[in-house]
């Protein structure tokens, strides 16, 4: 069978391509932006990549077109496949029907922490000798690939609530039919497709509806919106987790979350020490430990696996250091994630200065849906340079003004980098926050800093 994947260079669709190749299918694809590192990874798998979305890329007709959710009506490739009556399917549906139907699926859902928690769970299972399959919305450092089939019954997947395709507006995760589902948290996001938080809760309840009675729901005990989802109806055993509440709990042994004790139903089971920090990552770890326990992994083995866990790229990734100035790249997309990430860094670095370069890159950010929450989320930053591109449809002055003397705006990435270079002092921690490419700003800043101080 020959598959053509539209939107193949996205992390999720690139993972679909890698899995299809492992299944020994003939895979090709096209994307608006074919560039490294994803293009390199795919080409190394023997996958032919085509630049742009053109009708001729679908000639001769493939046996099946797998459509990414970034494409919509009016796209030349979409119009051609409809006019020519080509067989097509969404990425999540292809994955669910072709691969996941035969596996025990462990799905990780939530507004924040999906990628880290999915990677954690896959690593715990792998360390326990399970050799799980997985698909992660990033490249876990422990594995070096975003997706693999694995040899066991277990398959771990990042379960996104974003819509499936132009022809299927359900959340992606309804296609995965998990036996174990983690509900990590739930907040308002994706303002381009959800009118309010209640609409997101309905989608999460669709996921709850399909987890079998002999499965398990692992749910954040500290999230009231998730409690409201379960109140809509639940037919599956539930275990909760949290630091201040829940069946699974953590007692912080270090203020920055780099060490904590794990307990289940009041019984302490072991102490974890790892390289990650922040309360949010402790919560992610608890969720992964609970989910692994649901499929038979001993808690002691899960705790031991945390010591060797290496996080996904762009999750507070240290990309450079010059004369004590640490430079980080962080995949930030929501005020809560920004606040918890910076709080974790503050707990780790104490009184050292934290400087932030921020790009409002997600659809919700660009629409201004989170504008009122941005300044409060940056409370732990000593200085913030906010990227206000000319095409940003709202005035970033409301964020900058709310930061008082700690805030400034820059009209371009070049200007933002220059502003941070002028501000940086020995011993600072400089964090670049964006869920887009940010024109490679973190590494450009680190290189410029090193050159200036050579």
pLDDT at 392 (0 to 100): 75
pLDDT at 368 (0 to 100): 56
Per-residue pLDDT tens for 145-177? Answer: 889 999 999 999 999 998 999 999 999 999 999
Alpha carbon of residue 422 to chain centroid: 32
For the chain, the distance separating the N- and C-terminal CA atoms, rounded to the nearest angstrom, is: 55
In the 8-state DSSP scheme, what is residue 68? P
Nearest to 47 by CA among 10, 76, 8: 8
Q: For every one of its 454 residues, what pLDDT tens digit does the chain have, with 9 covering 90 and above?
A: 999 999 998 889 999 999 999 999 999 999 998 766 677 888 888 999 999 999 999 999 999 999 999 999 999 999 999 999 999 999 999 999 999 999 999 999 998 889 999 999 999 999 999 999 999 988 888 998 889 999 999 999 999 998 999 999 999 999 999 999 999 999 867 667 778 889 999 999 999 999 999 999 999 999 999 999 999 999 999 999 999 899 999 999 998 899 999 999 999 999 999 999 888 899 999 999 999 999 999 999 999 999 999 987 777 888 888 878 999 998 876 787 888 889 888 988 899 999 999 888 766 566 555 667 787 888 899 999 988 887 777 777 777 888 888 988 899 999 999 999 999 999 999 999 887 778 889 999 999 888 876 6
pLDDT at 454 (0 to 100): 62
pLDDT at 63 (0 to 100): 97
Question: Measuring CA to CA, how many Å separate 15 from each of 19, 82, 87, 148, 207?
Answer: 6, 25, 21, 8, 22
Residue recorded with tokens 């670095």: 349
Per-residue pLDDT tens for 310-343? Answer: 987 777 888 888 878 999 998 876 787 888 889 8
Alpha carbon of residue 298 to chain centroid: 26
pLDDT at 366 (0 to 100): 60
Contact between 248 and 241 (Cβ < 8 Å): yes
pLDDT at 376 (0 to 100): 85
Integer Cα distance of 287 and 106 in angstroms: 12
Integer Cα distance of 377 and 116 in angstroms: 20
Residue recorded with tokens 């307990």: 263
Q: Is 317 exposed, middle or buried (0-12, 13-18, 19+ CB in 10 A)?
A: middle
CA dihedral for 119, 122, 125, 129, sign (positive or negative)? negative
Residue ranges and CATH numbers for the domains of the chain are: 2-91 (3.40.50.720), 99-306 (3.40.1190.10), 317-452 (3.90.190.20)
Integer Cα distance of 273 and 271 in angstroms: 7
Integer Cα distance of 301 and 232 in angstroms: 35
The full DSSP string for 232-291 is T---S-EEEEESSSSSEEEEESSTTSSEEEEEETTEEEEEEE-S--SHHHHHHHHHHHHH
Indicate the SS3 state at residue 310.
coil
| H or E element that contains 354 | strand 354-358
Q: 325-364 b/e with 16+ CB inside 10 Å = b?
A: bbbbbbbbbbbbbbbbbbbbbbbbbeeebbbbbbbbbbeb
Residue recorded with tokens 């462990």: 106
Contact between 234 and 271 (Cβ < 8 Å): no
Cβ neighbors of 440 (< 8 A, separation 6 or more) are none
In the 8-state DSSP scheme, what is residue 173? G
By DSSP bridging, strand 168-171 and strand 163-165 are: antiparallel
Alpha carbon of residue 290 to chain centroid: 20
By DSSP bridging, strand 429-433 and strand 325-330 are: parallel
Q: Give, to the nearest 10 degrees, the angle between helix 279-294 and helix 335-349.
A: 110
């Amino acid at each position: 069978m020959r598959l053509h994947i539209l939107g193949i260079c996205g992390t999720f669709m690139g993972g679909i391509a890698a899995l299809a190749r492992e299944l020994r299918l003939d895979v090709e694809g096209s994307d608006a932006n074919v560039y490294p590192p994803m293009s390199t990874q795919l080409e190394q798998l023997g996958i032919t990549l085509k630049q742009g979305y053109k009708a001729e890329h679908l000639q001769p007709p493939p046996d099946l077109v797998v459509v990414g959710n970034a494409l919509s009506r009016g796209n030349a490739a979409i119009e051609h496949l409809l006019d020519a009556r080509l067989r097509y399917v969404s990425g999540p549906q292809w994955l669910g029907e072709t691969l996941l139907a035969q596996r025990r699926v462990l799905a990780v859902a939530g507004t924040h922490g999906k990628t880290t928690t999915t990677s954690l769970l896959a690593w715990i299972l792998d360390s326990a000798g399970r050799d799980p399959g997985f698909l992660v919305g990033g490249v876990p450092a422990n594995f070096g690939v975003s997706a693999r089939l694995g040899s066991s019954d277990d398959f771990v997947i990042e379960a996104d609530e974003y819509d499936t395709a132009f022809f299927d507006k359900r959340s992606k995760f309804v296609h995965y039919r998990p036996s174990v589902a983690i509900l990590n948290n739930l907040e308002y996001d994706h303002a381009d497709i959800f009118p309010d938080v209640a609409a997101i809760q309905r989608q999460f309840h669709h996921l709850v509806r399909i987890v079998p009675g002999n499965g398990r729901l692992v749910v954040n005990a500290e999230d009231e919106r998730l409690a409201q989802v379960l109140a809509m109806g639940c037919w599956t055993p539930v275990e909760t987790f949290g630091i201040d509440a829940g069946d699974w709990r953590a007692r912080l042994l270090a203020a920055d979350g780099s060490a904590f004790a794990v307990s289940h139903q009041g019984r302490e089971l072991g102490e974890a020490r790892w390289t990650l920090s922040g309360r949010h990552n402790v919560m992610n770890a608890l969720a992964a430990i609970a989910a692994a326990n649901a499929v038979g992994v001993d808690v002691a083995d899960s705790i031991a696996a945390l010591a060797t866990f290496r996080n996904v790229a762009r999750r507070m990734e240290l990309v450079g250091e010059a004369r004590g100035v640490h430079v980080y790249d962080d995949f930030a997309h929501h005020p809560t994630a920004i606040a918890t990430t910076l709080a974790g860094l503050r707990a780790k670095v104490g009184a050292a200065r934290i400087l932030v370069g921020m790009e409002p890159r997600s659809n919700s950010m660009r629409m201004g849906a989170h504008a009122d929450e941005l300044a409060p989320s940056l409370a732990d930053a000593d200085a913030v340079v906010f990227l206000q591109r000319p095409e940003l449809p709202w005035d970033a002055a409301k964020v900058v003004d709310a930061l008082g003397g700690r805030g400034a705006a820059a009209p371009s990435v070049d200007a933002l980098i220059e502003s941070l270079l002028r501000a940086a002092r020995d011993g600072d921690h400089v964090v670049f926050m964006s869920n887009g490419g940010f024109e490679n700003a973190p590494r450009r800043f680190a290189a410029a800093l090193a050159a200036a101080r050579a």
